[in-house]
């Protein structure tokens, strides 16, 4: 098992060989079985919303927010579906999970994902106690929204970084195909 080799392969949007992918999944399962359901994370940290299989935009997110492990991330949901590269996106995140274990602390802001926010991030309630973070720019390549990541420094000061989708000419777009809704 060589996580660094896997990371190098998947960050170029390549599939892992089936046996390596199985080993990776087994290792991630071991890690997840040891972790609690609720994770506390020490600052500084960057919070990310939905990615939806938009691999090249995930890589842009890392360019904007910082590379792992120098930057710690919380990915809150919807890693796959709708984008062209769900398997590649999820595999990329799994390789990073194996490489970088979580740490504990007491961050007290509630962050959520799963709701499209045209401006990338939206705070709610007095005192900005709830934040919705959306990290899939131009969602499904048709919504025109920007994306955001939310960084916290060691003093828990927040910094929202807004970014656009990677232009079509800078990413591979697979040929269109019709897929039945129910497989």
Query: For residue 78, is it within any domain?
Result: yes
Distance CA 46, CA 74 (A): 6
pLDDT of 159 above 90: yes
Asked if residue 160 has pLDDT above 80, the reply is yes
What integer is the mean pLDDT of 50-74? Answer: 91
Q: Which of 135, 125, 77, 75 is nearest to 102 (CA)?
A: 75
**Domain annotation covers residue 181:** no
pLDDT for res 1? 66
Question: Does residue 150 belong to any structural domain of this protein?
Answer: yes
Strands 121-124 and 130-133, by their bridges, are antiparallel
Q: What is the DSSP string of the chain?
A: --HHHHHHHHTTT-PPPHHHHHHHHHHHHHHHHHS-SS---PSSEEEE-B-TT-HHHHHHHHHHH--TTTS-EEE-S--SSSSS-HHHHHHHHHHHHHHS---------EEE-SS--TTSEEEETTTT-EEEEB--TTGGGTS---EEEEEE-TT--EEEEEEPPPPGGGS--PPP----S--
pLDDT on residue 103: 38
Contact 134, 161 (CB under 8 A): no
pLDDT for position 182: 59
Alpha carbons 80 and 100: distance in angstroms, whole number = 21
Distance in angstroms (rounded) separating the CA atoms of residues 147 and 54:
12
175 within domain boundaries: no
In this prediction the pTM is 0.65
Number of domains the chain contains: 1
Asked if residue 37 is part of any domain, the answer here is yes
- Domain membership of residue 31 (yes or no) is yes
Tell me how far the alpha carbon of residue 118 is from its chain's centroid.
18
CATH number of the domain to which 105 belongs: 3.60.21.10
Domain hosting 86: range is 3-168
**pLDDT confidence of residue 44:** 92
Give Cα 161 distance to the centre of its chain.
14
Task: Please give the pLDDT value at position 108.
Answer: 61
The verdict on residue 180 lying in a domain is no
Mean pLDDT over each residue of the chain, to the nearest integer: 84
Residue 174 lies in a domain: no
Peptide bond into 44 cis (omega under 30): yes
pLDDT of residue 61 exceeding 90, the answer is yes
pLDDT of 82: 80
List pLDDT tens digits, range 105-155.
Answer: 344 677 888 788 888 998 876 677 678 888 888 888 788 889 999 998 988
Residue pLDDT, tens place only, 19-52: 999 999 988 888 888 877 777 778 899 989 888 9
């Amino acid at each position: 098992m060589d996580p660094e080799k896997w990371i190098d392969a998947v960050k170029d949007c390549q599939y892992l060989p089936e046996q390596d992918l199985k080993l990776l999944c087994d290792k991630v399962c071991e890690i997840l079985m040891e972790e609690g359901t609720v994770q506390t994370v020490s600052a500084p940290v960057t919070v990310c919303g939905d990615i939806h299989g938009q691999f090249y935009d995930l890589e842009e997110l890392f360019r904007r927010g910082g590379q792992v492990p120098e930057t710690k991330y919380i990915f809150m949901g919807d890693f796959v579906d709708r984008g062209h590269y769900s398997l590649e996106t999820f595999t990329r995140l799994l390789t990073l999970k194996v490489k970088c274990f979580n740490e504990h602390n007491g961050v007290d802001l509630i962050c959520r994902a799963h709701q499209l926010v045209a401006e990338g991030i939206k705070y709610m309630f007095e005192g900005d106690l709830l934040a919705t973070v959306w990290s899939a720019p131009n969602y499904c390549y048709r919504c025109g929204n920007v994306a955001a990541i939310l960084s916290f420094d060691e003093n828990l000061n927040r910094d929202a970084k807004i970014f656009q989708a990677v232009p079509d000419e800078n990413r591979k777009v697979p040929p269109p195909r019709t897929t039945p809704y129910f497989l």
